[in-house]
């Protein structure tokens, strides 16, 4: 009956939280090109790329509440081909967005029974980027419910609430009072959860009658570290146990899935350092050639009405957050410190600003800060308490959250720039 963990963390910066919740609510619950159940399933696919059980569990419940087919929760082999075709762009966006080309866009938009419209694809791309970046924030702030992350001092992992965090405000803004008052779980909510459990259990029994359920015995630590693969022959039975275990118990505890392999293909595909050797300079993304302000904003707003304004407000909001104490510790102006973090994150994805001296990054950001930022940005599932303890001692709690908000927004914008540029090239 408490405020959802992401909301609690972002609540240290309430103006940003207002902006985030409005965007989240619009993406998931307002009119748009994609059906509501598909939106939550795309969020599941995106979160699974980073093994973020916290977001997967939250959107599994929301998917069912939106009337989604529980059979889809058995894995990618049980969803419509149109949705499954999104897997490739999801994988690339999550780990190496610079590899996205207009050919990937063309493949999804080509005329066929399972083709996407431009508006649908833009909505899907924004959802993917949003959830990838949010996974970084979840791991970075310790919201991921994982016993291995339980020793983070004041950043304790919390279970996701029974509501999507944007539902707490229904898109109408968030007040300080809301951040202080815990939600009370209603009888209706408990009854709804019981109904969902009964529905899923019935399907589980029916599935059991059609095929023999297989027992999967895997080493827990190995599964968390590498995400053990589950073969196609195992996915039908394994998927049932995944989404059965994802629903909150009546007392609010959540039993998370130990393996999310049924929601992804090619699990070994991950981030690789963007090469900056001379022969690869043609792949460098130069902001003066394609920027959010001059190109991305207008394209996304034209194809998915109003989302451009909400995203732009969110980007500007995180840039305007006060960080004087944090910057003072680093011996620089707040704007200089924030730009150093932002440009460092973009640099890891091959995005370069010609008017920026990248030597400043090494001057402004100490080594452990850079290690932390890179881990949370590029492979957040590898964030551990040792990194946390070695870096976070010098910052206040609100400053820790601020750094993670910068990571969230810089990463999301980087993914969007690559995807929108590829869409633009396709349209030319």
Residues catalogued as catalytic: 52
Identify whether the C-beta of residue 385 lies closer than 8 Å to the C-beta of residue 151. yes
Name the residue among 294, 321, 301 with its Cα closest to residue 19. 321
CA 224, 377, 404 angle in degrees (round to 5)? Answer: 105
Cα gap 93→38, rounded to integer Å: 18
CA 261, 265, 267 angle in degrees (round to 5)? Answer: 65
Identify whether the C-beta of residue 124 lies closer than 8 Å to the C-beta of residue 116. yes
- 286: helix, coil or strand? strand
Cα gap 297→291, rounded to integer Å: 9
Name the residue among 406, 374, 408, 409 with its Cα closest to residue 391. 374
Cα gap 419→48, rounded to integer Å: 20
DSSP H or E run through 247 = none
CB contact burial 71-87 (16+ within 10 A = b; e otherwise)? ebbbbbebbeeebbbbb
């Amino acid at each position: 009956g408490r405020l959802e963990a992401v909301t609690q963390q972002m609540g240290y910066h309430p103006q940003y939280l207002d902006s985030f919740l409005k965007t989240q609510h619009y993406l998931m619950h307002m009119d748009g090109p994609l059906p509501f159940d598909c939106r939550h399933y795309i969020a599941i696919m995106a979160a699974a790329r980073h093994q973020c059980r916290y977001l997967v569990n939250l959107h599994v419940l929301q998917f069912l509440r939106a009337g989604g087919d529980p059979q889809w929760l058995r894995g990618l082999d049980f969803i419509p081909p149109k949705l499954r075709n999104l897997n490739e762009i999801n994988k690339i966006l999550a780990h190496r967005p610079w590899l996205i080309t207009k050919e990937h866009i063309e493949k999804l938009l080509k005329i066929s029974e399972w083709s996407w419209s431009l508006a649908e694809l833009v909505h899907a791309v924004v959802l993917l980027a949003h959830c990838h970046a949010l996974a970084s924030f979840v791991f970075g702030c310790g919201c991921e419910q994982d016993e291995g992350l339980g020793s983070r001092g004041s950043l304790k992992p919390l279970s996701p609430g029974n509501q999507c965090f944007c539902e707490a405000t229904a898109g109408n803004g968030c007040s300080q009072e809301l951040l202080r008052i815990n939600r009370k779980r209603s009888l209706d909510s408990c009854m709804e959860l019981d109904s969902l459990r009964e529905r899923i259990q019935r399907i589980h029994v029916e599935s059991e009658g059609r095929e023999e359920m297989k027992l999967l015995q895997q080493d827990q630590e190995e599964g968390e570290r590498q995400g053990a693969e589950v073969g196609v022959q195992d996915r039908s039975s394994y998927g049932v146990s995944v989404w059965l275990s994802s629903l909150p118990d009546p007392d609010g505890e959540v039993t998370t899935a130990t393996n999310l392999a049924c929601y992804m293909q090619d699990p070994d595909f991950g981030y690789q350092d963007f090469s900056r050797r001379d022969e690869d300079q043609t792949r460098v993304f130069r902001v003066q050639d394609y920027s959010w302000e001059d190109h991305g904003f207008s394209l996304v707003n034209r194809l998915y009405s109003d989302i451009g304004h909400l995203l732009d407000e969110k980007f500007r909001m995180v840039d305007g957050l006060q960080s004087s104490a944090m910057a003072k510790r680093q011996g620089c102006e707040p704007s200089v410190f924030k730009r150093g973090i932002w440009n460092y994150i973009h640099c890891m994805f091959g995005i370069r600003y010609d008017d920026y001296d990248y030597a400043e990054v090494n001057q402004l950001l100490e080594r452990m800060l850079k290690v932390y930022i890179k881990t949370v940005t590029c492979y957040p599932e590898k964030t551990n308490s040792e990194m946390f303890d070695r870096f976070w001692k010098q910052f206040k709690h609100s400053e820790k959250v601020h750094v993670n908000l910068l990571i969230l927004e810089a990463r999301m914008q980087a993914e969007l720039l690559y995807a929108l540029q590829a869409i633009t090239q396709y349209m030319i």
